[in-house]
Homo-oligomer: A and B are copies of this chain.
Amino acid sequence: MITLSHCIDLDRRDELAPLREQFSLPENTIYLDGNSLGAQPKAALKRAQQIIEHEWGTDLIQSWNKAGWFQRPLTLGNELAPLIGAAQDEVAITDSTSVNLFKAVAAALHIQKQNPATAAKRVIVTERSNFPTDIYILEGINHFLGQSYEIRLVDSPEALYQAIDADVAVVLLTHVNYRTGYMLDMPALTAHAHQHQALIIWDLCHSAGAVPVDLHAAHADFAVGCTYKYLNAGPGAPAFIWVPKKHQAQFLQPLTGWWAHRSPFAMQPSFAAAGDIRGALCGTQPMISLSLVACGLDVFKQTTMEKIRAKSLALSDLFIQLLEQYCGSHPLQLETPLEHERRGSQISIAHPHGYAVMQALIARGVIGDYREPHIMRFGFTPLYTSYQDVWKAVHILADILDHKKYDANLEKNAVT
């Protein structure tokens, strides 16, 4: 029997526990949705004030050089790089994940077309259960290219190996599934793709800052991801894109804005690629939202991804154990793998009235979210989630289920 006092004791012994103080969290709330929107670092407001009052208000146009606005997508990219196993000058923080996906897919297809050995390949592989925007972007590119590719949607992680065959030009996979929390085997799938001369793009939206990622160790080709989930960069903060040095010279994609030009201020009437990580840039970036990415990253510098991972697994293991202990009699279906190697930093559980139960939880201050069909998602963010939080969340869930304190007829609203 796991008790609250046991969880309090775990918190007392938790080396990461003091980091919670660096976040502003609402009172009477157990926030288990950092996998969707990370909490606010307390440093964010002061940083925003500095940018608005000083960089924008006082220095105005001069801040492009003086404050390093022009370089900021790359300087912040360099700060993020260690969290995903990227080298310096390989990461840009810019645009949205969807736009960055577009760049990576277009560039990968272009590279394959340039190589006589791969030019004829006409299949793009992804998972049917991938986050929809990944699939939509593939559809958008394919439509633009006259439907000249087959988009092969694969129905299970196991089936990926067979689906990635000699016809495949590009593979686009999300490392940790947004719905189930299933974590794919990045090194194995990358090696498999390369055996078939396919290029592989990893979507790290649910990985960066959540699980250790080593893109170089896996020999991956490209990666994208968002900063506003586990990286706590703020709502809709610009996303990142990783282009390793091995591909930078050939990284050509259609969003050839002036920030990707070799000499943007020469104002030349013809595009000339920078040939480095700037090739992943397009146009002017939202400097206030972009700058706050630093506040989230600063917290990560105080610990390691290994320590974060250890606590993440401890939190999600505890959650599962407490579910068994307190909610074992209810029709809950664990959608996330028990196996550590295959688990991200969230736990997804299906319940026939998942939507209604989640609304009841939210009304009681336990903030998770809902995804079709029937799935309640609970994110565990070791920088600010405590063991007590987990105990209290399950305790409230048990109360809601035991006493049917949810409206089984509740109509679904727009869900986030």
Inter-chain CA distance A98–B282, complex, in Å, is 7
Tell me which residues across on chain B come within 8 A of A364, comparing CB atoms. none
User: Are B52 and A234 in contact (CB-based, < 8 A)?
Assistant: yes
User: Are B132 and A261 in contact (CB-based, < 8 A)?
Assistant: yes
Is A380 an interface residue, CB under 8 A from the partner?
A: no
Is A24 an interface residue, CB under 8 A from the partner?
A: yes
Number of copies of this kind of chain in the complex: 2
User: Are B289 and A287 in contact (CB-based, < 8 A)?
Assistant: yes
Inter-chain CA distance A256–B139, complex, in Å, is 8
User: Are A102 and B254 in contact (CB-based, < 8 A)?
Assistant: yes
Give the residue of B96, B139, B257, B270 whose beta carbon is less than 8 angstroms from that of A285: B96
Is A286 an interface residue, CB under 8 A from the partner?
A: yes
Inter-chain CA distance A291–B125, complex, in Å, is 37
Segment at the interface with B among A40-48, A331-339, A401-409:
A40-48
Q: Size band of the A side of the interface? A: 35 or more
A268's nearest neighbour on chain B, judged by CB, is B132
User: Are B228 and A284 in contact (CB-based, < 8 A)?
Assistant: yes
Give the residue of B53, B98, B286 whose beta carbon is less than 8 angstroms from that of A283: B98
Inter-chain CA distance A131–B367, complex, in Å, is 47
Inter-chain CA distance A70–B414, complex, in Å, is 10
Query: Nearest Cβ in chain B — how far from A314, in angstroms?
Result: 23
Inter-chain CA distance A351–B180, complex, in Å, is 64
User: Are A31 and B45 in contact (CB-based, < 8 A)?
Assistant: no
A-B contact pairs, 11 of them (CB 8 A): A26-B57, A37-B56, A40-B52, A61-B369, A98-B283, A99-B257, A135-B270, A136-B257, A234-B288, A237-B286, A266-B372
